Structure 1
């Protein structure tokens, strides 16, 4: 006789949903896919003087207002704002996917092991994770950005540290509640190893909240990355990053140069809103408390 697995996690079996959740879901999906498309199309506009402003683009007009030649105008460095806004989406996705993936790959396994094995390992991990969790995320990212230096991968590391405890806590708490189920005890009685219990019987039943957490962390990571860029940290200055572009644009805003602030700021806001709506829409499917 082999131990019986739970059929499927509840969020995969759920059929009913409210119209509001569907609206949030589809609007979030549409905005998110739009920025994915923008990131892929960004290289098409590379010839417009995009990221590093090489010598052939140094003659671009400075603070040129939006026109047919420069759709979003130009900055005080001669950058084409349209191209940098598009490439900002590509850079944001690179950093955000790396940061959230690192957090997930570290936090989920640690949460599974901690919740299942318990004991001293659980107490030690809880202490360290709770310590990190109590620190303000932006302040922690700023400190780590000083330590690891600039670059896409380094920025992802600086962002991911504050998200690891969130994955750990969610997965660990679910593991503690699920490991007492009869099908887990049956698997243990049949001689299943720790790895088999974790991978075959626990994993799919404790990750209900991970998709929601992933999207919400992605939205938060974009804001944090923009904050680092605004402070002059995270990525090299020549990289097309919305926070850095906003920092440069604020100096010209009092003189009526509005376009260098509007378009990067609007792109950052829309991407965060899209991921947040997607996360909130998913949350109704995952969390029974929000179901009608």
Structure 2
């Protein structure tokens, strides 16, 4: 007697997968929105006296453990770890939103123009983007950070360069596959200009994947910014930033001072997980994939 494997209907299995994806995306949205709210209200909380000044030493330079007056303890400079962790979300969001937006507004138009016009311009842009894409993103960001210096805008520029090819490649590939469709040919036959075809007919048909790239790049940018801060680059020295605080906590870890590294590291991890879940959920929702089940 042979045993047969129980198989669920394919439609049910797909429904379960999409349900799980939606649940995970909702978790990611909750985490991401929570960090956004904290970042937006951190300065207000400080003005109301609910948060300490993250750049002011509150006690003598000594590690105060978590509890009592200092929920997350203090670091060796006497700064309140709780306040610096919350304000770190503000710095992260400022840099990440700027970086991903800059790469989007450069990469998407270049991909549209390159895919639609083709020719020498397409080949030149492909060569340039492929060259950037082959470079390790972190090393490229570190090099650019040395060149442009510290600051929110400078850090965003240093991070954004490595993301431009991702928008370019996706948009260009979609454009080359759509530009020969009948509705594009009809618009051209009616005398529509290149600008009109790109903005009115092609843009909305190739933009679907951009939100997915945006959220996943935002998650990656948080890690890159943390790496720059860990190396002493990116933002000014006293700015509350998770990577910088982790670097300051490194020397204290061997002596058992764990809280100065735990809370900034946990905040960075949660924000990356939240954005990654949103990106993966959007990918499943926009482009649901049928998988063969054995």
TM-score in terms of structure 1 length? 0.91
- Retained in 2: the 8 A contact 1:226–1:241? yes
* 1:141-160 equivalence runs, <5 A: 141-160=141-160
What is the rounded CA distance, in whole Å, between the counterparts of 1:206 and 1:183 in structure 2? 14
What is the rounded CA distance, in whole Å, between the counterparts of 2:133 and 2:61 in structure 1? 47
What is the rounded CA distance, in whole Å, between the counterparts of 1:233 and 1:286 in structure 2? 37
- Retained in 1: the 8 A contact 2:18–2:285? no
Query: Deviations along 1:250-281, whole A, 9 cap, x unmatched?
Result: 10011111110110000000000000000000
Q: Which has the higher contact order (CA 8 A, sep 6+)?
A: 1
Q: Which residue of 2 aligns with 1:97?
A: 97
Structure 2: runs of 5 or more not aligned: 1-14
Q: Which residue of 2 aligns with 1:136?
A: 136
Q: Which residue of 2 aligns with 1:206?
A: 206
Alignment length, in residue pairs?
275
Give the counterpart of 1:52 among 18, 31, 55: 55
What is the rounded CA distance, in whole Å, between the counterparts of 2:147 and 2:34 in structure 1? 34
Residue 50 of structure 1: how far off its partner (Å): 3.0
Q: Which residue of 2 aligns with 1:3?
A: none
What is the rounded CA distance, in whole Å, between the counterparts of 1:264 and 1:97 in structure 2? 20
- Retained in 2: the 8 A contact 1:17–1:291? no
Distance 1:257 1:240, change over 3 A: same
Cα RMSD (Å) of the superposition?
1.7
Distance 1:127 1:237, change over 3 A: same
Query: Deviations along 1:122-150, whole A, 9 cap, x unmatched?
Result: 01000000000000000000000000000
What is the rounded CA distance, in whole Å, between the counterparts of 1:124 and 1:287 in structure 2? 30
Q: Which residue of 2 aligns with 1:289?
A: 289
Query: Deviations along 1:44-94, whole A, 9 cap, x unmatched?
Result: 1365443322xxx45456211112201100000011000000000000000
What is the rounded CA distance, in whole Å, between the counterparts of 2:31 and 2:181 in structure 1? 40
Q: Which residue of 2 aligns with 1:168?
A: 168
What is the rounded CA distance, in whole Å, between the counterparts of 1:40 and 1:114 in structure 2? 38
Structure 1: runs of 5 or more not aligned: 1-14
TM-score in terms of structure 2 length? 0.90
